[in-house]
Structure 1
């Protein structure tokens, strides 16, 4: 039977998950739009509680409907008014997903095989760390970039935005279900943990002493690097700072080196997501 009442309790309960308090209370969050729901159903069906579509979107995105039913998920059809009442950003496709917090120690334990090199010849580990990043669009864009660059883990350290904020989830375009994400750990603890796991910690900052292109030119060539210079071909954790003020000096001091992205034009700086993408792809290329 199709859901038709936009004022029904179920609709109100789903819509409430757009707020942080309801997400924390119920341990669930919203995934809005066909791309995010498609990836949730495909890569994390064990966490998907309910899928909602209109009859029109069920027909248009029949692969979502087919995969959801094949996975034994609860699929509900509702009118356009019901789906809009649940979320005005859902485009007629919505899922309610269980939050499954990941401990940093468990996430780093999964890097051991990559660091040692397994039968498949995996590249060295690559981790992205966001330090007190507050803007949900930026956080989601960095998660998406980390996924595209082949990163193994993203950490939202300190007082960063809630990773399950609806705008963060939408901005990841489904990458939230491709790469592990850890949240809520103080930056100093993250740095200690990734360094203990064998990763070099690089802070990205426009005032860095080292040029990213210079490091990329000599990646993997020990005889060509200056003494003490980091090797981009090694296991690496990049730390990216707040979009407004960057990394504070105490945070920069936690890193093994501070690296700048070269600016060759007249732009004053790069925004957070762009700088993170450039740095992660530099490491990805060096690892390749």
Structure 2
């Protein structure tokens, strides 16, 4: 279990870890059918989080195909274990007494999950390497009501433990697709009816101006189905990537800050669209 903190072990075994009560609670409730394999708790955690114990038992005994808020797995596919704090600490120093093991192959999603007519808001991360940023954007996208998140190009592994922890359970609330090239992402989402907006400090459009123009025929129109593209933490979006978008939008900086953190800028842009589409 400890080895699953490394990408090679996750790839070799087809498993990944979910650490801490919040992530495990959401994994047991919302992860895809058959993906949750094991849940580990210390005796103190089992007493402190009875809802995790109940949801795990419900899901472990649910008939195959049954889908309720608290039981969404295949019968017999999930095992619950009570272990000493020393055992949990040996598995993960970040478990906080609660740990789950999930099958990554059943958690994977493909283009039909996001590139479909009716998607209103999608977040696309292009070559984003920092796991904390990636996880925080997934969490912000979930909070803003996005339909999906795409990690394109050479972005961080979505099953990296820090990514999973940073999502605070949002990883299991909406489709998250990984690996495709950015050009393919843009083509698919545009084909599904989304305008593609790149967020970059070099943008020719000011986000405030777009918000002021909502309902007045502004271009680009924030009320339209939108895929927002966010670039790497260090170098942003190269010119070639910006050229793939329908428009490049900058978040206004009114103070002396040189720029915004990637996850903060993503939250601002996603909520601008969410409010306009409300």
1:143 aligned onto 2:138: yes
Please say if 1:108 is aligned against 2:115. Answer: yes
- Tell me how far 1:45 sits from its aligned partner: 6.3
8 A Cα contact 1:206 1:261, kept in partner: yes
Compute the displacement of 1:24 (Å). 1.0
CA–CA distance in structure 2, aligned partners of residues 220 and 200 of structure 1: 17
Determine which structure has more spread, i.e. the larger CA radius of gyration: 1
SS in 2 for 1:140: helix
Q: Deviations over 1:1-42 (max 9, x none)?
A: xxxxxxxxxxxxx11111111111121110000000000011
The DSSP-based 3-state class of the residue aligned with 2:114 is helix
Query: Partners of 1:254 and 1:107 in 2: how far apart?
Result: 18
Tell whether the 8 Å contact from 2:113 to 2:175 is kept in structure 1 after alignment: no
TM-score, scaled to structure 1: 0.88
Show CA shifts across 1:207-242 (max 9, x none): 1110001101112322xx2xxx21000000000000
CA distance in 1, matches of 2:250, 2:114: 28
Helix, strand or coil at the partner of 1:238:
strand
Could you list the structure 1 runs, at least 4 aligned residues long, displaced by more than 6 angstroms after superposition: none
Partner of 1:210: 205
2:180 to 174, 178, 185: 185
Could you say which residue in structure 2 is the equivalent of 1:88?
Answer: 93
Assess if the C-alpha contact under 8 Å between 1:156 and 1:181 holds in 2. Answer: yes
| TM-align CA RMSD | 1.0
Structure 2 counterpart SS, 1:156:
strand
- Structure 1 unaligned segments of length 5 or more: list them: 1-13, 116-124
Pick the aligned partner of 1:64 from 52, 55, 74. Answer: 52
CA contact (8 A) 1:58 1:65 kept: yes
- Structure 2 gaps of 5+ residues are 61-77
| Counterpart selection for 1:53 from 25, 32, 41 | 41
1:212–1:261 Cα contact (<8 Å) kept: yes
Aligned residues: 258
Q: Which residue of 2 aligns with 1:97?
A: 102
